Structure 1
Amino acid sequence: MKLLAIRRLFRIQRVVIRYRLDDLLFALPLPWWLLSLRYALPWRWFPRKKLELSRGAALRLALQDLGPIFIKFGQILSTRRDLLPPDIADELMLLQDRVPPFDPELAVKLIEEQLGAKISEVFSRFDIEPLASASVAQVHAAKLKTGEEVVVKVVRPGLKPIIGSDLAWLFILAKTAERLSADARLLHPVDVVSDYEKTIYDELDLLREAANASQLKRNFEGSPLLYVPQIYWDWCRPKVLVMERIYGLQVTDLAALADQRTDMKLLAERGVEIFFTQVFRDSFFHADMHPGNIFVSTVSPWSPQYIAIDCGIVGSLTPEDQDYLARNLFAFFKRDYRRVAQLHIDSGWVPANTKLNEFEAAIRTVCEPIFEKPLKEISFGQVLMRLFQTARRFNMEVQPQLVLLQKTLLNIEGLGRQLYPDLDLWSTAQPFLERWMRERVSPKTLLRNLHSQVEQIPHLAGMTRDLLERMSQPHAKNQPLAVREPRDGWFLRLLGAGHVVAGALLATVGPLGSIGYWPAGILLVVGLYLIVRRS
């Protein structure tokens, strides 16, 4: 283990002791054997002075002292007011964009090193005092020589060693959990930490963030739902990003939003619509939508438009994941628990030998009490926590590729209920999902997918032919130099083409219930073989 990681562990321990985080932990309803651990902690053997901080402030300051990974965790928690006491949620909200800035002179030095030019050569005005400061970077207002008002984002210095040591401990904890607990293995903690490692390091590359912002802007070009600031590529570097300065109200400034008579119901519903549009239409979603990254335009409060910044973390889904999620949501809200259970089995989330009736009964036990409440009172956070309680019995596995999506959905839900407490998530999402499902099987979409499949046929045929030739090489000596093609060769090629087209159509339409995609695969393979065999 690296010395830096050991030093980091002692640093974490000091912060825990300083802010009495162990008191917060042992105040929870834990099992007796965990509560007994408090007697084994040496710093609890002696009297301690009373901490002159609220529990929320202590937690916020501790996360702040521990650095970007812990600050990110606090930012996620801050949006879950239905899961946190108000005093803790209020304090954690301060982590969104009020993290203490680093030395502005150091920021200027870093910017000049990245741009290869003096600040005065690039900007006609540069505000030395930061406009905002977050866990990974801080932002300064400026004006380009060409007259555009911009903001300059610069990455905090010295983050990689700290992140590396934190991740080292997270990997140790994840591997230990997988080794000691069968339940933990179902959650794939090592895979989850690996995904988070990639995400956090990607966030340190501002060129990647600039590219993500440009893509998101194209996806919502001209949309009344979302505006993404313009990126000035000439002045973007791995650790410096220059983009259009936006003017709007922070989404959590409820008083200011009320003063301009913002339609809060429409604002909350549009937030949900933006999320589902990104996930299902574009398969490219902003995965860091905490309140510090979201503003509301002041141009038309009766038709409010969101403004999104900080696109360092984005997610995407495969068509199979999209289809699975949509079908699950429909079945879930229709209380079709058998369908939910079957989808989990078909997707591989639970073993194929799981007894469908027992799994259906377990899901019903978890979900039915929730649906006794009005839909607007249903919390996805509570649903997810209760569903994971079935993991121990049915070996349900967490899919690491969906972790970002789950986090983003929780952020959106928490934000939406904060803006409009009566938000009905399902009634807002249902029309969009129904329209998306219809479009998936529309003739236009089927033809487009078929065209895409047909374009791949020559390539697949060539690959198959090469493979068959390699397989037949050991017997090549026994074959004649030339073989006359039978008179029915054209018929076999035509038959093969028919098989390929039928297989492509079947694969485009989707799986046949529990049968899956294998009939389409058989048709494609047989068709390609007939074509290649007679070529």
Structure 2
Amino acid sequence: MRLRRVMANSSKPVADSNPTPLGPKLKVASGNEFELLVESRPHGLVRRLFSTWRHFFGTLFGGLNAWVRSRTKEERHGLGYMSAWSLALLTRPFVSRKLVKLPFAVQLRKRFEALGPTYIKLGQILSLREDILPPEITEELKNLLDRLPALPFARYLELVERQIGRPAGEVFSWIEPTPLGSASIGQIHQATTLAGDAVIIKLVKPGIRETLKTDSVLLRIFGRFLQLFLARYQPRRVIGEFLHYTLREADLRTEADNAETFAANFKDLPDVVFPAIYREFTTQDLLVMEYLRGVRPNDPAIQTLSEADRDRIVDLGATVIIRMLYRDGFFHADLHPGNLVVLPGPKAGFIDLGMVGRFDDELRRTLLYYYYCLVMGDAENAARYLSLIADSGPGSDVKGFRRDVEEICRRWQRSSNYEDFSIAQLIMESVGKGGAYRMYFPVEMVLMVKAIVTFEAVGQYLKPGFDVASTSRPHINQIFLNQFSPVRIARESLRGAPELVDALVKAPMLVTEGLRALEQATHRQPENPFSGIRGTVFGGFCIVAGAIVAAANGPWPVWVTLFVGGILLGIRRSKAG
């Protein structure tokens, strides 16, 4: 099939009218086309370093010129301004004429696009960090391209066959030649297997992994450099978080694992669907998974559903979001309407599972308590739990942060219009206060807010006047109560069973040996004037030690043995006296 080059932003799709056979069994069909990707050999470290440094200094010099232009007449005086103006004049020849007159945020976005897939992905992550970066930058970075040039279909087919180790016609009866999507890392096409199953084929673009590895080395260097001058914006931390997620996302086996984990977590809810994975055709660079046929929740066609069906979808969404975040601590980290599908039933489908967020048990519980306090109207404890989630930087002001968060919570409670001031806005505004008080939040916190924002937007479209807090309250109450169920407490306790048994076995022996040693020492030196109070002192020591172990949630056999041993020693000495 002859592919025609069409710009990605073209408003008129181009298609060939006649499908072209590719072998005796495999056929391709027509569709909208992307700008074609011109493959090139990935740059080596040195060449990539010079290219990246050129854009890095171009961004710095462009930012300086943008700052000088943005000064008002009243601000254009003084040594600081004159020094900046002189430096901007000297560096202006080194900045592209097409960029130098643009606002800094636009320059930054265009530099990321010029640097390629790694930096486009970095910009998309940075666009979420409204808690660290100025709003004009995060808003502009949201305009980064998410529709990038695609591989020619013949080349795509060649790479797919290389991954599955056989001709495509032996596995698929049909493949759509035009991608459903072509992003910074992967390219996806719709297909049908010989068994008649509708599937999606996702392929990592060639050279991407090598580029990511090279860029990750350079980004870590830049992160350390920027940390010296822009510590407030935590560049080293942000870059580290980005590399963690992106390098995982580049391995498609991770997405397959994620899909199966989600399916296992929600196996008790048949109306929540995740795509099935075809493991026999899945590799590091190729993923074949079930194609979920449905409509996007923001599609006008969704309004043809009955009110009861729309309410059902909203309730399913609340169940899924709350359980992902606060029960499992494992959630879809790239949630937006394009990654949601409403299926017949109605059922809720979730796709594009390459990027997930994880909370460890301690963070998950703290977030659960924070959200519970929010929906229950407890502003003081909500502020306290939120401060426990953040890392305190040098010169942090925890009390000031809590005070501001309490005020935001109370303002939200007084608001009668949740469309103007939603719970997601409340959380984002609270998290955004962190930078001013040197309180820094993990990226998972921002991804959590993104999930809630998406749920709010979909809920408002399906059910005008929708309120996340009241809808999610029954679900959060259930999870909160489950935290304190006897079964869960017993299960959590059994995690430390080996240490508990070991302590139970050893504690009496240690106390007995200690008493015997004390008794022997007492009999050897009866002339010591302090010998009469040794038992009392040791008994007191045992009781204090038991109290410390109990306060630290230590194994109960240890502190019970210490308490009993201390009391027995005291009784023994009193009788001896």
Same fold (TM over 0.5): yes
Cα separation, 2, equivalents of 1:150 and 1:10: 43
Q: How much does 1:117 deviate?
A: 1.2
Aligned to 1:476: none
Aligned to 1:251: 297
Cα separation, 2, equivalents of 1:443 and 1:56: 54
Aligned to 1:520: 553
Aligned to 1:42: 92
| 1:389-408 equivalence runs, <5 A | 389-393=433-437, 395-399=438-442, 402=445, 404-408=447-451
Say if 1:29 and 1:516 are closer, same or farther in 2 by CA, change over 3 A: farther
* Alignment-mate amino acid for residue 164 of structure 2: L
Residue from 392, 410, 418 that aligns with 1:375:
418
| 1:61-460 equivalence runs, <5 A | 65-72=114-121, 92=143, 95=146, 98-181=147-230, 183-184=232-233, 187=234, 189-221=235-267, 223=269, 225-252=271-298, 254-260=299-305, 264=310, 266-297=312-343, 299-300=344-345, 304-334=346-376, 336-344=378-386, 349-350=391-392, 358-373=400-415, 374-379=417-422, 380-381=424-425, 383-385=427-429, 387-393=431-437, 395-399=438-442, 402=445, 404-414=447-457, 416-417=459-460, 422-454=465-497, 457-458=500-501
* Alignment-mate amino acid for residue 48 of structure 2: L
1:345–1:351 CA contact under 8 A, matched in 2: no
Provide the alpha-carbon RMSD of the alignment: 4.9
Please state whether the residue corresponding to 1:521 is helix, strand or coil.
coil
Q: How much does 1:308 deviate?
A: 1.3
Deviations 1:278-334 (A, max 9, x none): 12222221212233322221x13xxx4221122112222222112211222233455
Say if 1:201 and 1:368 are closer, same or farther in 2 by CA, change over 3 A: same
2:254–2:354 CA contact under 8 A, matched in 1: yes
Deviations 1:235-257 (A, max 9, x none): 111111111222111334x3222
Gaps of 5+ in 2: 1-44, 515-542, 564-577
* Alignment-mate amino acid for residue 6 of structure 1: F
* Alignment-mate amino acid for residue 361 of structure 2: P
> 1:3 aligned to 2:47?
yes
Gaps of 5+ in 1: 473-498, 507-514, 531-535
Cα separation, 2, equivalents of 1:46 and 1:101: 27
1:144–1:150 CA contact under 8 A, matched in 2: yes
Q: Mean alpha-carbon deviation: is it higher for 126-135 or for 29-38?
A: 29-38
Say if 1:423 and 1:56 are closer, same or farther in 2 by CA, change over 3 A: farther
More relative contact order, 1 or 2 (CA 8 Å, 6+ apart)? 1
Cα separation, 2, equivalents of 1:39 and 1:418: 50
Say if 1:457 and 1:21 are closer, same or farther in 2 by CA, change over 3 A: same
1:269–1:423 CA contact under 8 A, matched in 2: no
Cα separation, 2, equivalents of 1:391 and 1:60: 23
Deviations 1:342-393 (A, max 9, x none): 4356567448998876554333344444444333422434643454435444
Say if 1:387 and 1:89 are closer, same or farther in 2 by CA, change over 3 A: closer
Say if 1:149 and 1:13 are closer, same or farther in 2 by CA, change over 3 A: farther
Q: Mean alpha-carbon deviation: is it higher for 114-123 or for 218-227?
A: 218-227
Cα separation, 2, equivalents of 1:22 and 1:259: 53
Say if 1:308 and 1:49 are closer, same or farther in 2 by CA, change over 3 A: closer
1:130–1:138 CA contact under 8 A, matched in 2: yes
| 1:467-486 equivalence runs, <5 A | none
Say if 1:427 and 1:43 are closer, same or farther in 2 by CA, change over 3 A: farther
Q: How much does 1:517 deviate?
A: 8.2
Give the count of matched residue pairs: 471
- Equivalent pairs: percent with the same residue? 24
Cα separation, 2, equivalents of 1:383 and 1:149: 40
